[in-house]
Chain A
Amino acid sequence: MPYDDLRSFLGTLEQEGQLLRITDEVLPEPDLAAAANATGRIGEGAPALWFDNVKGFTDARIALNVHGSWANHALALGLPKHTPVKEQVEEFSRRWDAFPVAPERREDAPWRENTQERDDVDLFSVLPLFRLNDGDGGFYLDKAAVVSRDPEDPDHFGKQNVGTYRLQVIGRNRLAMQPVPVHDVALHLRKAEEKGEDLPIAITLGNDPVMTIVAGMPMGYDQSEYEMAGALRGAPAPIATAPLTGFDVPWGSEVVIEGVIESRKRQIEGPFGEFTGHYSGGRRMPVIRIDRVSYRTNPVFESLYLGMPWTEVDYLVGPNTCVPLLKQLRAEFPEVQAVNAMYTHGLLAIISTKKRYGGFAKAVAMRAMTTPHGLGYITTVILVDEDVDPFNLPQVMWAVSSKVNPSGDVMILPNLSVVELAPAAQPAGITSKMIIDATTPVRPDERGNFSTPAKDLPETRDWAARIQRLLAEARG
């Protein structure tokens, strides 16, 4: 049963024991961020956090870490909460095949209940804003689904983009925004600024859990995130028309902010502690003027802590980074078995593949680096054989330790593109990239002594099932 809004998902999390209500009074800083940071330091299965007793506020409702464990990610997809990660990625991949699923338009959006316009806009009065990390330049909206259209093709539904970008609150009605040049909104902004025009924008906060996953997913320029959300939900995504921009926005959002990115203007932004585990900032970035805010009565403010991994963002963008890469690679190389690109949004990827002939695995790695997401992210690729599970890091380390002869299996490619946020890039945006081929060489690449591998015994699979059954019986 898919969720049409954040509230219904929070209800399920609570029923499943995956939402913790903090009822004691807390300080907005540093408590809210420190608590969310701590969910990544207490082991598996961390819950979402709910705060409504925050010092100085009379009416705050804050949800943090909503996607911040494999249990919560599974529940977001409507899977049992103990579903293993690899199975979540496989199910994600299976549902992808239903793309595109047309959305369902509804006009009774609950965010129509309340409105602020023009000079009356005051984000602080709608949302209990707060700081995440010490060095952050201010308070951020970091879990929004941001909607924009191609100014040269505004009626193209697929080119309408839904993405997540960091947004710094720099005034009651002003935001600074980071459109990374490799992302779709930067293409929209460039086209508008070349004409000297503002770019209309709609920022939606507090969305159903699949919408948030899709907004953070690397998709093709003309592929619709709403049609992907429908595929992943197994039901059409409910959308509504935003009143000022006319853009398509999620029906179930808590808050819909509309305005424009002001043309050809830049203002100091950041820093902000990023998904790379490092701050980035001290740059002049585009500025949004907010002209209208629509919001549900008693809005829930959903935010996300990010910093040194792992944090919620790593769960949120883990599977949604793996699956597009898997699909794009398999389209040309059906030998590819699985892709684990969950490390720093895919700065490192582990790919399991069969080999067509000697040298094939390295070609798969180079193809991964030239996918749309790979161009901006994939810096290190580890290749493993088809019988190695790339999500099982001890197995991956076994492959690297036993199969790699560095002189023939490690390639360094100089001066390639990467997101400017990548901390090791030099200069920003340029990096060397590395392929570590930990697959078994095959003809005519006849190197090493791999002719007698010790495989699992044929009977092991049955015994594993038998032991698990006996253990379950013994534990009652």
Chain B
Amino acid sequence: MTDCPRCAFETVEKLYSSPVPGVWDVLQCRRCLYTWRTTEPARRTRRESYPEQFRMTAEDIANAPEVPVVPPLRA
């Protein structure tokens, strides 16, 4: 299976396959959760064509802010 187009992670899971057999699969990156259909344009499905401004790194994910922030537990 292919690497994640967005974050280049190597573990990609198949979420769903087309009801008409063999037309497309829906894949998901296990790290950044990017989800795509195999029939989408190369700009969404291939690492080398994936736009720079939408790429994500492990640091981006680790440093992503919480929205909304988890509140303190009440005593």
Contacts and interface: CB of A to CB of B under 8 A. Distances in A.
Contact of A195 (B24, B35, B51, B74): B74
12 contacts: A30-B40, A56-B39, A59-B19, A134-B44, A135-B53, A186-B68, A266-B66, A266-B67, A268-B32, A268-B61, A268-B64, A283-B67
Q: What are the 6 tightest A-B residue pairs by CB atom distance, in nearest-first order?
A: A56-B18, A138-B35, A56-B23, A124-B16, A135-B54, A58-B19
Contact of B68 (A30, A56, A176, A190): A190
Interface string A165-200: 000111110001011010000100110011110000
Contacts of A282: 56, 60, 64
B66 A284 contact: yes
Contacts of B64: 268, 282-284
Contacts of B70: 193, 264, 266
A196 B70 CA distance: 10
B40 A189 contact: no
Interface string B35-75: 11101110110000001011010001100111110111110
Interface in A139-177: 139, 168-172, 176
Contacts, number: 112
Contacts of B1: none
A186 B61 CA distance: 22
A58 B74 contact: no
B33 A55 contact: no
A282 B6 CA distance: 12
Interface in A20-48: 27-30
Contacts of B18: 56-57
B13 to A, nearest CB: 9
Contacts of B54: 134-135, 271, 279
Nearest to A282: B64
Counting chain B residues whose Cβ lies within 8 A of the other chain, the interface size class is: 35 or more
B73 A194 contact: yes
Interface residues of A, number: 49
Contacts of A178: 67
Given A284-B66, A420-B67, A268 B72 contact: no
B63 to A, nearest CB: 9
A124 B65 contact: no
B26 interface: yes
Contacts of A59: 19
Nearest to A122: B16
Interface of A: 27-30, 55-59, 122, 124-125, 129-131, 134-135, 137-139, 168-172, 176, 178-179, 181, 186, 189-190, 193-196, 264, 266-269, 271, 279, 282-286, 420
Given A28-B39, A55-B39, 15 more contacts: A29-B39, A29-B40, A57-B19, A134-B43, A134-B54, A137-B34, A194-B72, A195-B74, A266-B70, A268-B56, A271-B54, A282-B60, A283-B65, A284-B64, A284-B65
Contacts of B61: 268
A97 B44 CA distance: 48
Contact of B44 (A27, A129, A131, A271): A131
Given A134-B51, A195-B74, A282-B56, A56 B66 contact: no
A73 to B, nearest CB: 31
Nearest to B67: A283
Contacts of A264: 70
Contacts of A179: 68
A395 B35 CA distance: 47
Contacts of B74: 194-195
A171 B73 contact: no
Contacts of B60: 282
